[in-house]
Amino acid sequence: MGNWTELLTRLGSGSTIEHSYQRLLATETQHWQNVLQRLVAIVQYLGKQCLAFRGSSDTLFSENNGNYLKLVEMMATFDSVMQSHLKKIQNSEIHQHYLGKDIQNELIGLISKEIQRRILRLLKDAKYFSIILDCTPDITLVEQMTMVFRFVSVKQGDSPTANPEIHIEERFLGFLPVHNSSGEGLTEAILNVLEMLKIPLSDMRGQGYDNGSNMKGKHLGV
């Protein structure tokens, strides 16, 4: 009992034999959190500006290594966290550096899921919506259907007597690969997406299509 009480006291005061290791662990954890915060900020910036992420090289401080790595290099010029991170990479002190194309894609995917979640929350708060669709083939000749949802967003004022702010929102939710471009195939694809996103078809109040005959056909359209 005496030994246990002494250990409890030493744990609370930070004077155990492994305290230095715990301090190093906390420092390393904070370092990686700081690095990830900066990498997420870079991903958000490139996404908002519609800029390409990667170039012909995936190596730091090389020509044509893309906007992502160039921004990392530029940030290291002024920021001590990224400067320390790149120094460890160059000295081969770490091999998992979170700068490769896989982590870029993972960060893009995580951010896109969060954006989609927030759009769906606004859409479900508004309840009623219209859908705007268009199809165009990509470089591999696979039809990509763009999905845009249009709804009315109502934001309450800061005070109970303030008038609510009303906005008409048009939100893009992604590209949908379509392998059957007939009216029936497009209809099935749309219904599957609505079911996957848990958006009731009964709340749809309007549909808008571009000039595709399979979409807007009088008899065999969507």
Cβ-based neighbour number of residue 5 at 10 Å: 9
Which of 124, 114, 95, 99 lies closest to 199, judged by CA?
A: 124
| pLDDT confidence bin for 220, thresholds 50/70/90 | low
Bigger pLDDT: 162 or 46? 46
Which of 209, 49, 57, 217 lies closest to 136, judged by CA?
A: 209
Cβ-based neighbour number of residue 185 at 10 Å: 15
Max Cα-Cα span within the chain: 87
* Of the ranges 6-10, 178-182, 190-194, 206-210, the best mean pLDDT one: 190-194
| pLDDT confidence bin for 174, thresholds 50/70/90 | confident
Whether 80 has a pLDDT exceeding 60, the answer reads yes
Sign of CA pseudo-dihedral 37, 42, 43, 47: positive
| pLDDT confidence bin for 54, thresholds 50/70/90 | very high
| 3-state DSSP helix/strand/coil % of the chain, to nearest 5 | 50, 20, 30
Task: Write down how long the chain is.
Answer: 222
The per-residue pLDDT of the chain, averaged, comes to: 88
pLDDT, mean of residues 14-20:
74
Whether 19 has a pLDDT exceeding 80, the answer reads no
| pLDDT confidence bin for 102, thresholds 50/70/90 | very high
What would you report as the CA-atom Rg of the chain, rounded to the nearest whole angstrom? 26
Alpha helices (H) along 49-200: 66-78, 80-90, 101-126, 183-196
Residue 17 is given by DSSP the state T
Bigger pLDDT: 71 or 216? 71
Cα–Cα distance measured from residue 178 to residue 92, given in angstroms and rounded to the nearest whole number: 45
Q: What pLDDT is recorded for position 13?
A: 78
Question: For 106-159, how does the pLDDT look when each residue is reduced to its tens digit (9 = 90+)?
Answer: 999 999 999 999 999 999 999 999 999 888 888 888 888 899 999 999 887 777
Cβ-based neighbour number of residue 205 at 10 Å: 12
Q: Which residues, including other chains, have CB under 8 Å from residue 195's CB and lie 6 or more apart?
A: none
The pTM score is 0.75
Whether 211 has a pLDDT exceeding 60, the answer reads no
